[in-house]
Amino acid sequence: MPDLSQYFPVILATHITLAIALFVPSLLLPFTLRNRLVNQGYEAPEPGGLVRVLLWIQAHGTVVIGAGLALTGLAMLTVLGPRMLEQPWLLVSLATYAITAVIAFGFQRPSLRRLVRRDGIESDADREAWRARARRQRYVAYAITTAVGFIAFMMSTKPVLW
């Protein structure tokens, strides 16, 4: 096996970039939906360019990004060895990332798809229900953003937890 230690900074930067990129659609899509139904009647307008790009990334890019994330994670384990997993701050960060990924892909992703399609909006009551669902998705995006910030804090400060 080749010595990858000289490439560690590149591996780490790529890993962090991919980890954040995996959440970008879940972070941004709820805010692109804000006020989409204002003054637009009940017909569903075509999503804008940014929304289409984010939806494409979410539908097609997650597998590629996830594969790259797994490869760079394995490369970091190869360089640093298993002692890397003995760091409590890293274990807490990994657990937070896993929980956030389950929320983003298990809950938010399907909900955002339904919101973008705007199925069943035929009255003012339907419009208000859509707005309430969109608001909930923005709150979920705030939670995901907070989790990403917490992970960044843990990675940068490396606190002694136990």
Query: Looking at residue 40, what is its pLDDT?
Result: 52
12-48 per-position pLDDT tens digit:
899 989 988 888 888 888 887 765 544 455 455 666 7
Query: Looking at residue 36, what is its pLDDT?
Result: 53
Those residues of the chain that have pLDDT short of 50 are 37-39, 42
Query: Looking at residue 27, what is its pLDDT?
Result: 85
Q: Are 26 and 141 in contact (CB under 8 A)?
A: yes
For the chain, domain boundaries? 5-157
Query: Looking at residue 39, what is its pLDDT?
Result: 47
Q: Identify the DSSP state of 47.
A: P
Instruction: Give the integer Cα–Cα distance in Å for 19 and 155.
Output: 13
* Side chain identity, residue 108: Q
127-156: string of b/e by CB count within 10 Å (b at 16+)? beebbeebeebeebbeebeebbeebeebee
Q: Identify the DSSP state of 76.
A: H
